[in-house]
Structure 1
Amino acid sequence: MVTENVSLLCYAAFQKQYDIIQSLTQVCDMGDWRFRKELDKALFFALCAEDRRMAHILLKDYEADPGRKHSSCGLHGAARRGFHDEIQLYIQKHEACPDTKDETSLTPVMYAMMLEAPRDWETIWFLFELGAKANILIGGWTYAQWAIQMEKYDLVPRPEEAARQARRDEIF
């Protein structure tokens, strides 16, 4: 694993090194915005490593922001793993925007598209149900166009169907 661009905090979260997390949070300035941003990224890494316990500790004990904009955050990690409980918690309790973009402009829906079927669509639909918009463009492409690029042909019609349904719901 390449670690040269990953902070020690994020690496420790990914490697499930609870003692390192505790030590780092004791010696670092919890008010420093750079450290806060790294805590938020560590939440992403913990979820990518499927370590819900670490994610819970980072969220509750260290107040990581699961919806930080323009950075990989907990909502992205939860979507990448299809963790519906965390997705719902982050959006409803912590007010994370369901369309929040990371530093490369990927949304939680894009992270969910990386899951295997049928979990990919279940998680995407769950995000739509919680307020994610189906008609967002990422790099000028629709979710359907991204699905084609990712060779996930079963997903191609679904985001557009969800967008049409949302438009119908707005009318009525």
Structure 2
Amino acid sequence: QQTATCRECSRTISPEDTIVFGDGLLGHLDCRRPRVLSAEERTLLFIYCRDHQVAECVRCTRRFPLREVASLDSFGIRTYGCGWCHTDLTDSIREHLYGCAMLPIAIRRIAQAAREAARSLVKQSHQLHDAADVAVREAQATLHALRNAMRQSPLKRRE
């Protein structure tokens, strides 16, 4: 099964990846880290979650506030890792964000709807790509049949 690919890195786009879109094309927000937190997610975390624990490391079972897991790597890219075992905590932070009781209900619902809309866009892109692939194969088969029929048909000259 073929899937949608990022216009920048040519890797498959997963429904869980953080995407950007424009000119009818999808892409990763950060090709090096396809599931990175979006600017909106980072803003919500800073506004509503900076004073409580936002991540739990499944490897070492520690819980962390945002200030203890957010850092910049050598390329200036924001990362979210466990300070003890260096496990990536992005998924744990995102899970916290979309269920955090500190976010006003209206904001949480809109944030969840935006995340779901992005997932849906990726899934629909995959479906459209698959449908287009089927249509191309059908057109190729029909064209092949036409060419075969033309080869087998006796030539008639116009007089």
TM-score above 0.5: no
TM-score band by shorter chain is under 0.3
* Greater relative contact order, per chain length (Cα 8 Å cut-off, separation 6+): 2
Higher helix share: 1
TM-score (norm 1): 0.22
Larger Rg: 2
